Chains A and B, each alone.
Chain A
Amino acid sequence: MEEITYLEAIRQALWEEMDQDERVFLLGEDIGAYGGAFKITKGFLEKFGEERVIDTPLAESGFVGAAIGAALMGMRPVVEMQFADFISCAFDQIVNMAAKHHYRLREPVPMVIRAPYGGRLHAGPFHSQCPEAWFVHSPGLKVVAPSTPYDAKGLLKASIRDPNPVIYCEHKYLYRHAKGEVPSGEYVLPLGEAEVKRQGSDITLITYGAMVQQGLEAADQMSAQGIEVELVDLRTLYPLDTETILASVKRTGKTLIVHEAPQVCGIGAEIAAVIAQEAFRHLDAPVMRLTAPHTPVPFSSPLEDFYLPNAAKIASKLKDLASY
């Protein structure tokens, strides 16, 4: 097993899928000679040529629309949003054209939109957002948000092979901060399956993306105090693995949901509602949430640090919950 970064895992998944399936091609801004804003596609132009690594004009709706058209013709386009924040420019094509197509016409739209998202890089209101809930709320889309290099690679390969439009949320902070072992051989992870990243019997901590590492650090702190936290990493946000969520909650009776996106109508709200409906008599405490506040993502360090959940804030919430 080789230890690689989250960024390298995404690069490998793209490379391998392009290498073995000529239907797979890339569209996006600055992904060719420049290799992408985060250098994910460095070297791809040289290897796969300009017909499969397409630098587009700065027109998100246009190139997402083009990806949909190519997907309808049997291609497997992978679109890179330079930043997830710009996905709003293509919102109509995604939620009206791509998401509803199969429901209306029974024709698959196999495409992936890679969305580099999330904060902690001091990038301000327009380069830090977490737009995942917008798409979870739109029937017809799958939404993926891996937390480790292993998951990032296996889930991206699955997303490319899926016959549906997939919004693949890749966390920018994890690109170079998350390292982990990835097998050298071929593997694919199924969409729609959460993973228990840490077992524990006292509290269930449900999260995804960059908050998984923060949650694991908080869980270690709690363990030193004799409280064992079970961490469920959602990995896919739609379809949501309610089975894994409910099984854990029923064991522990206490739940904390953590995400970096704002709280109102976020993923956590849906999970809390599912737990309230399906596991009410197993609960020993109210389902709690720790999320960003309902504000844009602020720029300056003290503001962004205040805005984002982190290990210390998670540990503090876990303590409250343990003593409930």
Chain B
Amino acid sequence: MSVGTEDLLKFYYYLLLTRGLEDRVAKLYRQGRILGGCYVGSGEEAISVGSACALESRDVIAPSHRDLGAHLVKGVQPKEYMAQYLGRRTGLTRGKDGNVHFGDLSRHIIGFISPMADGIPVAAGAALAFKIRREPRIAVAYFGDGASSRGDFHEGLNLAAVLTLPIVFICHNNQYAYSVPLSRQMAVPHVADRAKAYGFPTRIIDGNDVLAVYEATREAAARARSGGGPTFIECETMRMRGHAEHDDASYVPRELLEEWRRKDPIQRFERTLREREVPEESMRAVQVRVLKEIEDAVDFAEKSPLPDPHEALEGVFAT
């Protein structure tokens, strides 16, 4: 299946926007202009962008903390993301929660929370609702290799399997869970080796190839939508920065980072675009648009009001 120029440029836009926004936030973090921690998915953008672009608009995603790209594809605006990081009332949680802890059901995004893998059974529950109501929608759960050690990973995968739920599991295998390398997290070489035990198809793909992620997700989504049940896609990649921006990742061998830097998903995709003869001026236009959106987002966030102190008491319960 061939992806047209319009889609190629769409992927390019979301890849650049994701990288650009996160680089900008990391800079703001070092300048002391954001609140709290800073989590980026640098080098892993192809996974969330490629997979989210393969979904229908009403499909639901449960992203993890390195999935800004999926949020953006689903419609989260750069200015909302920046305002979230700055703890502003215009952020997606109105200052109630920080950094990448956000979601929005009106855009079919289940909010992420810190305990890793919690979103997996929750996404399965969304898929269960679609199955019960016979809606042609699917759910996608995102998580990392670290999350695959938690019980909720296993409970969620197994539940989805026995109930034949319309769901796709997308694992960023970025080789490290904070400071612990994969070899110390599991005694099998791949996260997919764990997933195999639950009795549905698993795939291991190049997570730094946006087109490979897109194709694998399309296939898995079609299977889920037609009643074929879950698929597990392990996307091999590398965490190119620390767990969060406070972490210099000095425990990661330099040569490993150098090896993966040569596989950078954005540079690779730019080569693909040129091979496919996408006009340079079209690529340039995307770059210019992205830069402007990022600066507008920072400007919007910094000019946005902080919440009033008493808002801390609001919204504990739905009425």
CB contact list, B102-134 vs A, under 8 A: 102-105, 110-111, 113-115, 118, 120-132
CA distance A102 to B103 in the complex (A): 11
A62-B156, A105-B92, A107-B105 given as contacts; is B129 within 8 A of A69 (CB)?
yes
CA distance A101 to B96 in the complex (A): 10
The listed residue with most A CB atoms (<10 A of its CB), out of B118, B126, B129, B319, is B129
A180 within 8 A of B: no
- Whether B105 lies near A65 (C-beta < 8 A) is no
A208 within 8 A of B: no
- Whether A57 lies near B162 (C-beta < 8 A) is yes
CB contact list, A70-108 vs B, under 8 A: 70-75, 77, 92-93, 96-97, 100-108
Contact of B155 among A61, A100, A164 (CB under 8 A): A61
A75-B129, A93-B118 given as contacts; is B159 within 8 A of A59 (CB)?
yes
Contact of B111 among A75, A105, A108 (CB under 8 A): A105
- Whether A57 lies near B155 (C-beta < 8 A) is yes
- Whether A65 lies near B120 (C-beta < 8 A) is yes
A139 within 8 A of B: yes
Set of chain B residues within 8 Å of A103, measured between Cβ atoms: 96, 315-316
Contact of A96 among B62, B94, B118 (CB under 8 A): B118
CA distance A136 to B118 in the complex (A): 22
CB distance from B116 to the nearest CB of A (A): 11
Set of chain B residues within 8 Å of A104, measured between Cβ atoms: 93, 96-97, 101-102, 111
CB distance from B107 to the nearest CB of A (A): 11
A10 within 8 A of B: no
In the complex, per-residue mask of A162-182: 1 if CB is within 8 Å of any chain B CB, else 0: 011000000000000000000
- Whether B152 lies near A62 (C-beta < 8 A) is yes
CA distance A92 to B147 in the complex (A): 14
B86 within 8 A of A: no
Set of chain B residues within 8 Å of A106, measured between Cβ atoms: 94, 315, 318
- Whether A105 lies near B104 (C-beta < 8 A) is yes
B139 within 8 A of A: yes
B233 within 8 A of A: no
- Whether A97 lies near B118 (C-beta < 8 A) is yes
B-binding segment of A36-44, A48-56, A150-158, A261-269: A48-56
In the complex, per-residue mask of A127-150: 1 if CB is within 8 Å of any chain B CB, else 0: 000000000000110100000000
A92-B118, A105-B111, A107-B105 given as contacts; is B131 within 8 A of A69 (CB)?
no
Set of chain A residues within 8 Å of B158, measured between Cβ atoms: 57, 59, 62
Set of chain A residues within 8 Å of B213, measured between Cβ atoms: none
- Whether B159 lies near A93 (C-beta < 8 A) is no
CB distance from A182 to the nearest CB of B (A): 28
CB distance from B71 to the nearest CB of A (A): 13
- Whether A52 lies near B125 (C-beta < 8 A) is no
- Whether A102 lies near B318 (C-beta < 8 A) is yes
Contact of B163 among A54, A67, A75, A164 (CB under 8 A): A54
A307 within 8 A of B: no
- Whether A72 lies near B126 (C-beta < 8 A) is yes
Interface residue tally on B, bucketed by range: 35 or more
Set of chain B residues within 8 Å of A54, measured between Cβ atoms: 128, 163
- Whether A97 lies near B155 (C-beta < 8 A) is no
A66 within 8 A of B: yes
Set of chain B residues within 8 Å of A92, measured between Cβ atoms: 115, 118, 152
A69-B123, A73-B129, A96-B113 given as contacts; is B317 within 8 A of A102 (CB)?
yes
A240 within 8 A of B: no
A63 within 8 A of B: yes
CA distance A107 to B105 in the complex (A): 8
B220 within 8 A of A: no
A65-B121, A69-B129, A106-B315 given as contacts; is B152 within 8 A of A93 (CB)?
yes
A66-B122, A70-B128, A97-B122 given as contacts; is B97 within 8 A of A57 (CB)?
no
Set of chain B residues within 8 Å of A64, measured between Cβ atoms: 121
B151 within 8 A of A: yes
B60 within 8 A of A: yes
Contact of B156 among A65, A73, A75, A96 (CB under 8 A): A65
In the complex, per-residue mask of B48-81: 1 if CB is within 8 Å of any chain A CB, else 0: 0000000000001010000000000000000000
CA distance A89 to B128 in the complex (A): 21
Contact of A65 among B111, B130, B152, B316 (CB under 8 A): B152
- Whether A69 lies near B155 (C-beta < 8 A) is no
- Whether B92 lies near A69 (C-beta < 8 A) is no
Contact of A72 among B102, B110, B151, B159 (CB under 8 A): B110
Set of chain A residues within 8 Å of B159, measured between Cβ atoms: 56-57, 59, 62-63, 66
- Whether B105 lies near A72 (C-beta < 8 A) is yes
CA distance A107 to B155 in the complex (A): 25
A-B contact pairs, 17 of them (CB 8 A): A54-B163, A59-B155, A62-B151, A62-B152, A66-B121, A69-B128, A70-B126, A72-B122, A73-B129, A93-B121, A97-B118, A104-B96, A104-B111, A106-B94, A108-B318, A140-B316, A163-B319
Binding site for A on B (CB under 8 A): 60, 62, 92-94, 96-97, 101-105, 110-111, 113-115, 118, 120-132, 139, 151-152, 154-156, 158-159, 162-163, 315-319
- Identify the 9 closest CB pairs spanning chains A and B, nearest first: A69-B125, A65-B121, A62-B155, A66-B125, A73-B129, A108-B318, A59-B155, A163-B318, A69-B122
Instruction: Given contacts A75-B129, A104-B96, A140-B316, list 20 more A-B pairs with CB under 8 A.
Output: A51-B132, A54-B128, A54-B163, A59-B158, A63-B159, A65-B121, A65-B156, A66-B122, A66-B124, A66-B156, A67-B125, A73-B125, A96-B115, A96-B118, A97-B113, A104-B102, A105-B105, A106-B94, A163-B318, A164-B318
